[in-house]
């Protein structure tokens, strides 16, 4: 989904977060989700899920993060997709994960400590998994790389083909992945939100941009991430465009005109699962066509032998939303999708913050939300339960904070943080180490 105002949202919301230690999070154990055939597993158990999108979540205060994850736990949702990029030109700023000086980009540790460490730690405690795209096709994200390195004359697809730009993005990815590669809270690293040959930056695309160009970039970046982090999955984050080679016709979603060949990309060995986005009315299709889009991807994924996730979907047709979403959910379930994530989570939070809604979002107060909870229950049962939803307060995880012998906290247990009321003394030989103000752990 196009979100051009993400940077101003990050700036406004991030001010609610407290200052934090800039040290990378310490190593974690178990709980990593991996691919197994056409499904996911965690600690030997099948992991089918319903989740949501909240691109703005990394800017929430600690109390609002706890509320978000508590609401997800109560609904049976297991996976949250966030957006994880923000840049500025000039010196380091705590609201920007990366800053630029001319053509040189520098990831900002203090901003990561303030924006990303709290959400990763809170997700660990709440047993929520995070899908993390590290750049986006829309707004100033990839366009800023082009502007700083090539200038105003660079077309949008220069991002995929210019070696200096590719290396600059690798620099950011390297810092990001290394910082959190030991956290089981990461569900998957995502290469980009909705990669295409063109964006909304008026740069246009060159005549050289095609599916082969972006597929080559996907191969390069996914292999690069796997070389840094072999424990986590990698996916593209694309909308799922087909080409005429699949035989579905030549209308827009099947033309390959945006430079995406979903089938070829899913066959790349360093890509673990396929992503599908779906906004039929925005693509000149009927809402009912969405069921066809879902079944086509399910069939292709089965043929390739990898999982598929309906990662974004929505409709602005509020009058028919309940029945439309019900049909889409059931189609994804019956077709064998391993994950379903709606766009987007809409709710109010303790601080007074209300999450944004572009008209596609599903509010926790509307009737359609009951369908999300019902499907979460079905998917959890299908997966043998996966990881049991946490029912205590997020930040006080029952799986990691249990005191050990003599009332001391066991290895990997939580031992401190703002609002923490449990034990603070670790079993020997472990010590309580601070990850950020909200989460300390026995390591």
Catalytic-residue membership of 26: no
Catalytic residue among 190, 194, 239, 311: 194
DSSP-assigned beta bridge partners for residue 189: 132, 234
Neighbouring residues of 366: CB distance < 8 A, sequence distance ≥ 6 = none
Angle at 172 between CA 77 and CA 165, to 5 degrees: 120
Cis peptide before 439 (omega within 30 of 0): no
Report the relative pairing of strands 308-313 and 274-278 from DSSP bridges: parallel
292's tokens? 């066809």
Closest alpha carbon to 411 in 83, 82, 96, 29? 29
CA gap 441, 443 in Å, rounded: 6
List phi, psi (to 5°) of 434.
-85, 125
- Check if the beta carbon of residue 150 is closer than 8 Å to that of residue 132: no
Q: H/E element holding 290? A: helix 289-304
- Check if the beta carbon of residue 129 is closer than 8 Å to that of residue 180: no
Catalytic-residue membership of 311: no
Q: Which value, in Å, is the radius of gyration of the alpha carbons in the chain?
A: 21
Closest alpha carbon to 121 in 432, 426, 442, 414? 414
Q: H/E element holding 256? A: none
In order of 164, 291, 292, the CA distances from 242 in angstroms are 29, 15, 13
Catalytic residue among 124, 127, 311, 312: 312
CA gap 67, 167 in Å, rounded: 38
439's tokens? 């989460």
CA gap 412, 399 in Å, rounded: 10
Residue 16 is classified by DSSP as T
| Residues known to be catalytic | 194, 312
């Amino acid at each position: 989904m196009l979100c051009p105002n993400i940077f101003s949202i990050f700036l406004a919301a991030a001010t609610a977060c407290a200052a934090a230690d800039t040290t990378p999070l310490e190593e974690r154990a178990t709980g990593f989700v991996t691919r197994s055939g056409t499904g996911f597993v965690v600690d030997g158990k099948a992991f089918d899920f319903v989740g949501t999108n909240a691109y703005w979540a990394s800017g929430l205060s600690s109390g609002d993060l706890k509320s978000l994850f508590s609401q997800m736990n109560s609904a049976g949702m297991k996976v949250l997709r966030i957006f994880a990029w923000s840049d500025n030109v000039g010196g380091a700023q705590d609201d920007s994960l990366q800053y630029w000086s001319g053509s040189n980009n520098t990831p900002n540790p203090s901003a990561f400590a303030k924006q990303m460490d709290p959400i990763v730690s809170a997700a660990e405690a709440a047993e929520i998994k995070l899908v993390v795209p590290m750049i986006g096709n829309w707004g100033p994200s990839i366009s800023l790389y082009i502007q700083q390195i090539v200038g105003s004359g660079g077309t949008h697809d220069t991002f995929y083909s210019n070696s200096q730009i590719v290396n600059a993005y690798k620099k950011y990815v390297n810092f990001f992945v290394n910082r959190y590669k030991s956290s089981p809270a990461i569900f998957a690293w995502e290469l980009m939100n909705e990669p295409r040959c063109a964006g909304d930056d008026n740069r246009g695309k060159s005549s050289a941009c095609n599916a082969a160009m972006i597929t080559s970039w996907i191969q390069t970046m996914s292999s690069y991430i796997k070389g840094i982090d072999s424990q986590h999955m990698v996916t593209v984050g694309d909308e799922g465009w087909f080409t005429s080679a699949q035989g579905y016709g030549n209308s827009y979603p099947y033309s390959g005109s945006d430079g995406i060949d979903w089938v070829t990309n899913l066959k790349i060995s360093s890509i673990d699962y396929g992503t599908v986005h779906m906004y039929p009315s925005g693509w000149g299709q009927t809402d009912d066509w969405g069921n066809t889009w879902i079944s086509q991807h399910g069939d292709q994924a089965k043929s390739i032998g990898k999982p598929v996730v309906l990662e974004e979907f929505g409709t602005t047709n509020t009058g028919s939303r309940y029945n439309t979403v019900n049909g889409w959910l059931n189609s994804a379930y019956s077709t064998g999708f391993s994950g379903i994530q709606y766009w987007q989570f809409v709710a109010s939070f303790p601080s007074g913050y209300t999450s944004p809604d572009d008209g596609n979002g599903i509010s926790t107060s509307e009737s359609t939300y009951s369908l999300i909870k019902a499907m979460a229950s079905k998917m959890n049962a299908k997966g043998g339960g996966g990881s049991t939803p946490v029912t205590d307060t997020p930040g006080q995880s029952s799986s990691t904070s249990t005191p050990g012998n003599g009332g001391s906290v066991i290895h990997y247990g939580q031992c401190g943080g703002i609002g923490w009321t449990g034990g603070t003394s670790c079993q020997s030989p472990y010590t309580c180490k601070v990850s950020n103000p909200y989460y300390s752990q026995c390591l």
